[in-house]
Amino acid sequence: MSSSRSPHRLAALAGIGLLAGCASSGSGPGSATAVTWPDLIVHLHATKGAFLVDPKTDTVVTNLPTGAMANLGATTPDGRKVYVANEAIGGRNVFVIDLVQRKEVARLETGNRPKHPAVSPDGKWAFVNHWGLDDGKLRLTFIDVATDRVGKLIELEVRGSLPGPAPTSMHNAWSLDSRYLFTLNRVDDELVVVDTRDWSVRRVALPSKPHYPAPSPDGRELWMVVEGKDASNPPQAIVFDLTRPGMPEVARVRQPLEGQAVIEGHHGNFTQDGRHFFMLNRGPGNKSEGTEVAVFDAKSRRLVKNIQTGSTGIGHTYNTPDGRYAVVTNYGNNVISIIDTRTMSLVKDITVGKGRMGHIAFTPDSRFGYISNAGDGNLHKLDLQTLTIVKEIKTGDAPGGAQVLNVWTNVFEELPTTVARR
């Protein structure tokens, strides 16, 4: 059944015109039928392909080859297709999976090591950024969802360089009217904004490596999370006003870093009601030991709670669809942490599987979550009423468990709260 717990998100998705107050150019999903919850859960495994799982029976219905390191993907708002990027060294393809036909329907070459697809709220474009450079340039690829062909290609000159195989880009998001694409240039520490009306590009300098752009649920602001360098230049969110000409910076919200032996910001996301913003300190990849979830009031931008978790190297705070809990997953140990979003307090640390905990997808009634484990490669089913693990589903049974996804999202830890089920 569809839910209507947070009408603000639907109002935002209807599109009110962002960045310089322009009128919306797209219809956007502005009704309960525009975002459809698929019947299947997709587990992307780095070595074993894409597993399609039926949550009614907790069985794998098919396993599709997607190449090595096909770790991240995105669902279309109609719940029909998933775009999967192959970020392995030498990889250049994006795989398109039809969830109704349960098969691969297209394979496109987009550039050097496709990183993380992001589908626009109106379902027109699947944007793909890239881990590597193409002829020394940062490639931005827009796939036409209707035809599954590359519809627009933009290549940006970069000025600096990165050591070894470091990613030149990371994650992406769309303005909620589908006009603006937000992506990252980690070579030169920039936010990149593409206007899909005229394909013009803005490049905004940032104080450290950019990691995660998060538009506010009302569509009025962008909170750009950067990783930080040290205590004097810490992880923080740079807040931009999307309603004013030029998208001016209006605030900087700093990670407090209380009792943290390591420093490196990771993701940040809003709660389902839009009132609070989570920001996480992970620590660097070779020392993923951060434990701090900082909770900010989204309106005042003041710190309201600092939560220490049993999960280490924390990366993501996934919201349940009903907004009651945030589930913390990580790059360190095999512990997930459950946060009650009403009290902003840690409810429980849960040990799961044999390796670090990566991602989670939920059933639309918020009853169950399916969590990937990078060590054993399987899905672990979390009962959100009892806060216990109730089942392990063999999806790979080998190291490499990565993203789990089902419904369309703009920022993949936040979920649409009013949806239709196919």
Tens digits of residue pLDDT in 149-192? 999 999 999 999 998 889 999 999 999 999 999 999 999 999 99
Q: Which candidate, 205, 263, 278, 212, places its Cα nearest to that of 233?
A: 263
Q: How far is CA 215 from its chain centroid?
A: 12
What whole-number distance in Å separates Cα of residue 367 and Cα of residue 254? 34
Instruction: Enumerate residues 6+ apart whose C-beta is below 8 A from 268.
Output: 212, 214, 223, 225, 237, 277, 278, 279, 280
| pLDDT band with cut points at 50, 70 and 90 for residue 67 | confident
Dihedral of alpha carbons 155, 156, 161, 167, sign:
negative
As a whole number, mean pLDDT of residues 113-142 equals 97
**CA 319 to each of CA 8, 57, 362: distance values in angstroms, whole numbers, following the listed order:** 16, 24, 9
Q: How many CB atoms lie within 10 A of CB 115?
A: 26
Predicted pLDDT of residue 11: 37
User: In the predicted model, is pLDDT for residue 329 greater than 60?
Assistant: yes
Q: What percent of the chain has pLDDT over 90?
A: 88
User: In the predicted model, is pLDDT for residue 214 greater than 60?
Assistant: yes
What whole-number distance in Å separates Cα of residue 7 and Cα of residue 210? 30
Structure tokens at 231: 């205590």
Predicted pLDDT of residue 150: 98
The angle at the Cα of 280, spanning 214 to 91, to the nearest 5 degrees, equals: 65
Predicted pLDDT of residue 163: 87
The residue ranking higher by pLDDT, 267 or 416, is 267
User: In the predicted model, is pLDDT for residue 422 greater than 90?
Assistant: no
What whole-number distance in Å separates Cα of residue 81 and Cα of residue 156? 29
3-state secondary structure of 242: coil
Instruction: State the DSSP string of 243-309.
Output: TSTT--EEEEEE---TT-SS--EEEEEE-TTSSEEEEEE---GGG----EEEEEETTT--EEEEEE-
User: In the predicted model, is pLDDT for residue 421 greater than 90?
Assistant: no
Q: Which candidate, 332, 316, 375, places its Cα nearest to that of 171?
A: 316
19-33: b (≥16 Cβ within 10 Å) or e: beeeebbbbbbbebe
Q: Which candidate, 169, 195, 174, places its Cα nearest to that of 184?
A: 169
| pLDDT band with cut points at 50, 70 and 90 for residue 416 | confident
The residue ranking higher by pLDDT, 419 or 291, is 291
User: In the predicted model, is pLDDT for residue 23 greater than 50?
Assistant: no
- According to DSSP, the β-strands at 420-421 and 36-37 are parallel
pLDDT tens figures, 277-323: 999 999 999 999 999 999 999 999 999 999 999 999 999 999 999 99
The partner residues of 297 in beta bridges, in order of sequence, read 276
User: In the predicted model, is pLDDT for residue 267 greater than 60?
Assistant: yes
As a whole number, mean pLDDT of residues 38-60 equals 97
Count the alpha carbons within 13 Å of 151 in the hemisphere toward its beta carbon. Answer: 14
As a whole number, mean pLDDT of residues 232-249 equals 97
As a whole number, mean pLDDT of residues 261-281 equals 97
Whose structure tokens read 């979390």? Answer: 382
pLDDT tens figures, 86-112: 999 999 999 999 999 999 999 999 999
pLDDT tens figures, 358-371: 999 999 999 999 99
| pLDDT band with cut points at 50, 70 and 90 for residue 13 | very low
User: In the predicted model, is pLDDT for residue 418 greater than 80?
Assistant: no
Do residues 131 and 168 lie in contact, with contact meaning Cβ atoms separated by under 8 Å? yes
Q: How many CB atoms lie within 10 A of CB 265?
A: 29
User: In the predicted model, is pLDDT for residue 30 greater than 90?
Assistant: no
| pLDDT band with cut points at 50, 70 and 90 for residue 420 | low
Predicted pLDDT of residue 164: 81
Q: State which amino acid sits at residue 105.
A: V
Q: Which candidate, 376, 375, 364, places its Cα nearest to that of 418?
A: 364
pTM: 0.92
As a whole number, mean pLDDT of residues 109-131 equals 97
What whole-number distance in Å separates Cα of residue 152 and Cα of residue 155? 10
- Domains of the chain in start order, with CATH, are 7-421 (2.130.10.10)
Do residues 254 and 230 lie in contact, with contact meaning Cβ atoms separated by under 8 Å? no
Predicted pLDDT of residue 419: 52
Whose structure tokens read 């793909």? Answer: 128
The partner residues of 114 in beta bridges, in order of sequence, read 130
